[in-house]
């Protein structure tokens, strides 16, 4: 049995423990080695969490002082809602803690943050091959049926 997990907002002192989780998340989606994110993107992402003018936020899961998971989310306007919509952009749990409720705890905390902000909708995307995560997602949300298209410009 693992000790209790604490989910909390990220703080500046978390950087050294956040960066391996961030790099693990990006590697999971094929952004490592030659395809790694430009370090300027990582620096900008980190700084946005602490900029009050940015609608981008981060929470972390920790056990006994060790960061084991992260979630990054943002609020944006929508043509189908008056209040901002919440987008859960990044969710990652360290490999050794997967399947132990950490992802669910992070999602539930984002649900609370979105509710407090007045959002009536929270959504996220995952890759169709991320079957393990989808088992959790199918329990805590519903599939929208939408297919995502994108073009790099």
CA distance 44 to 51: 10
What domains sit in the chain, N to C, each tagged with a CATH number? 6-140 (3.40.630.30)
Q: What pLDDT, on the 0 to 100 scale, is given for residue 2?
A: 76
Q: What pLDDT, on the 0 to 100 scale, is given for residue 33?
A: 74
CA distance 85 to 144: 15
pLDDT in tens, the chain (153 residues): 778 899 999 999 999 999 999 999 999 888 877 677 889 999 999 999 999 999 999 999 999 999 999 999 999 999 999 999 999 999 999 999 999 999 999 999 999 999 999 999 999 999 899 999 999 999 999 999 888 898 989
SS3 call for 32: coil
Q: What pLDDT, on the 0 to 100 scale, is given for residue 7?
A: 98
Q: What pLDDT, on the 0 to 100 scale, is given for residue 3?
A: 81
Partners of residue 8 on adjacent β-strands: 60
Whether this prediction's pTM lies above 0.85 is answered by yes
Instruction: Say how far residue 103 (Cα) sits from the centre of its chain.
Output: 9
CA distance 30 to 41: 16
- CA proximity to 69, closest of 46, 49, 88, 97: 97
Q: Tell me if 37 sits within 8 A of 68, measured CB to CB.
A: no
Q: What pLDDT, on the 0 to 100 scale, is given for residue 34?
A: 67
């Amino acid at each position: 049995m693992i000790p209790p997990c604490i989910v909390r907002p990220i703080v500046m002192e978390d950087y050294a423990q956040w960066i391996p989780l961030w790099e693990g998340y990006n590697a999971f989606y094929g952004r490592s080695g030659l395809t790694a994110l430009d370090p300027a993107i990582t620096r900008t992402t980190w700084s946005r969490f602490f900029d009050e003018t940015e609608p981008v936020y981060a929470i972390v899961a920790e056990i006994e002082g060790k960061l084991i998971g992260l979630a990054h989310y943002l609020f944006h306007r929508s043509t189908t809602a008056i209040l901002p919509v919440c987008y859960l952009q990044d969710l990652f749990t360290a490999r050794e803690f997967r399947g132990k409720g950490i992802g669910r705890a992070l999602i539930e905390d984002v649900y609370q943050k979105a509710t407090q902000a007045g959002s009536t909708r929270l959504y996220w995307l995952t890759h169709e091959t991320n079957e393990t995560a989808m088992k959790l997602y199918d329990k805590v949300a519903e599939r929208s049926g939408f297919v995502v298209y994108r073009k790099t410009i």
